Amino acid sequence: MTNWLVEAASLYESEVAFGRSTASQMELTTPVNKRELPCDGCKFEDRCAARFEECSAFRTWSKMGDFKDSDVGRNIRAMKG
C-alpha cells in the first residue's frame, strides 16, 4: 500500500474503534493580558533573553496575564519547558 493509503486506513480504523474525533470542535480560548510584557524596559531583559531565563513577573504574566511590579527581576531562573 502507498503511504497515504496506509494513513487513511489507520484513520478509518481509529474512527471505527473510538468514534469520530471532536478535537476540531473544541473552543480554544486565548488568555487576554491585562498588562504588557513585564520584560519591556527591565534592566535584565537582554540577559534573560540571551540565557533563556525568566523572572517571577514573567512566569505570573504568562499564566495570568498580569503581574506585580515588585516581581520584575525577582527570582530569575532558567526557563522550564
- Give pLDDT tens digits for 5-53: 677 667 667 677 777 777 777 787 777 899 999 999 999 999 999 999 9
Contact 53, 76 (CB under 8 A): yes
The confidence score (pLDDT) of residue 57 equals 97
* C-alpha cell belonging to residue 59: 512566569
On whether the CB atoms of residues 51 and 78 are closer than 8 A, the answer is: yes
Mode of pairing for the β-strands spanning 77-78 and 53-54:
antiparallel
Residue 65 has pLDDT above 80, yes or no: yes
Q: In this structure, what are the phi and psi dihedrals at residue 58, rounded to the nearest 5 degrees? A: -65, -40
Count of CB atoms within 10 A of residue 48's CB?
Answer: 19
Model pLDDT, residue 38 = 96
Locate 37 and state its grid cell.
510584557
pTM above 0.75, yes or no: no
pLDDT at 54: 97
